[in-house]
Amino acid sequence: MATGAAAAIARARRDVQHQFFSQDAVRPDRAIAFEPSRLIEQRQFERMLDRGIIREAAPGRYWLDVVAYDVDLTQRHQRVKIALLAIIVILLIVLLLPLLGIGVATNGIAGH
């Protein structure tokens, strides 16, 4: 379920970004009106607006700040790398414990 939600969020973020990139709305003088087609797109748009990735040039006219977008993308990729490294370290520890003779302690009661 969580994977599906993450995929839907990622798709909505890409759809919002695509609208701006496809219309070359990457400078204040090229700002566009934005109308999300789904609620999840609206949420991603608002999040990007709050983070300074999307900026309002005039009331109701928005543009995507490519520099802020790139910084955000780099930060997201860095967080994913850290999470993957943590998972790999945990898996290695779990796999190496039996080889080192370190096991999970049991209380000696079988079947209870």
Q: Where are the domains of the chain?
A: 2-99
Supply the pTM of this predicted model. Answer: 0.68
C-beta separation of 40 from 12 below 8 A: yes
Residues 40, 64, 74: CA angle, nearest 5 degrees: 80
pLDDT in tens, 70-85: 999 898 889 889 999 9
With b meaning 16 or more CB within 10 Å and e meaning fewer, what string describes 36-61? beeebbeebbeebeeeebbbeeeeee
23 vs 79, more confident: 23
